[in-house]
Amino acid sequence: MSNDRTITLEVMRYRPETDAAPSFQSYVVPYVEEWVVLDALNYVKDNLDTTVSYRWSCHMAVCGSCGMMIDGEPKLSCKAFLRDYGSKIRVEPLSHFPIERDLVVVIDDFIEKFTRIRPYIIAQSEKPVSEGEYLQTPAQLHKYKQFTLCINCLLCYAACPQYAHNPEFVGPAALSMAHRYNLDSRDSGRDLRQEVSASHEGVWECSFVGACSDVCPKHVDPAAAIQQTKIASTMDYYKALLPGGK
């Protein structure tokens, strides 16, 4: 490991109290083989410029708070190794979200949508604790497990051109979370969620670019969840046309 090798971090800065628009600021940081971009940012904050703002917490790809554009690609900065980039790395706040300050984006829109799809189990009837757990077989778990892995990092929204052009779009993570609960054998809240998922701003706004699944760091495959929801919603439509359909 050479100690004098350095890289340049070009960080997008936006200070709402003084800046009319964002601009880039460069910092020279040591190159350390096992560092990720987040380590480089922490180096800047600790040694060069305490005013740089960004979010992070776990440093192990589980909290979902450190998402940013790294050389134009949405990435978790705690999972993006310096060694996979050149000598100059450009870091910007996640695309398609308003910038609060520097690398921090405003995510209120997502939180509202996420709440709207009711991301929790809605049981047909609550059973008392004395009656024991809601049991589930491994096969029932397998059906939705992949969609539980979402860490709400919002990289998928930053990759989605539909969300960029229509901010009303409920979007990949919220729609796949709705799908996750719909597939859960303990849940019976699908009808409620469909009001959001099957609406025009729901799955039908998706044109299957597939960018969300490409960038998802947890292999949730939100594009798959959305296409599956489209098929299920279409089936609902035809079922309703049948005699005795609801």
In angstroms, the first-to-last Cα distance of the chain is: 68
Per-position DSSP letters for 169-186, written without gaps between them: ---HHHHHHHHHHHT-TT
Contact call for residue 56 and ligand FES (CB under 6 A): yes
Contact call for residue 102 and other proteins (CB under 8 A): no
Q: Which DSSP category does 218 fall into?
A: T
Q: How far is residue 99 CA from its own chain's centroid?
A: 16
Tell me the C-alpha distance between 156 and 124, whole Å. 32
Which 6-35 positions form the footprint of other proteins (CB under 8 A)? 14, 16-17, 19, 21-22
Contact call for residue 63 and ligand FES (CB under 6 A): yes
Contact call for residue 151 and other proteins (CB under 8 A): no
Minimal distance, residue 6 CB to other proteins, in Å: 29
Q: How far is residue 98 CA from its own chain's centroid?
A: 15
Tell me the C-alpha distance between 1 and 132, whole Å. 56
Which 156-195 positions form the footprint of other proteins (CB under 8 A)? 161, 164-165
148 in Cβ contact with 180 (< 8 Å): yes
Write out the two tokens for 143: 């059906």
Could you tell which of ligand FES, other proteins, ligand SF4, none binds residue 211, using a CB distance below 5 to 8 A set by kind? other proteins
Q: Which DSSP category does 105 fall into?
A: E
Which residue from 19, 23, 33, 58 is in contact with ligand FES, where contact means CB under 6 A?
A: 58
- Which residue type, as a one-letter code, is found at position 101? R
Which residue from 55, 75, 96, 179 is in contact with other proteins, where contact means CB under 8 A?
A: 96
User: How many residues sit close enough to ligand SF4 to count as binding (CB under 6 A)?
Assistant: 14
147 in Cβ contact with 220 (< 8 Å): yes
Minimal distance, residue 241 CB to other proteins, in Å: 22
Which 189-218 positions form the footprint of ligand SF4 (CB under 6 A)? 216, 218
Which 133-192 positions form the footprint of ligand SF4 (CB under 6 A)? 150-156, 172-173, 176
Contact call for residue 119 and other proteins (CB under 8 A): no
Residues at the contact surface with ligand SF4, assessed by CB under 6 A: 150-156, 172-173, 176, 216, 218, 220, 222
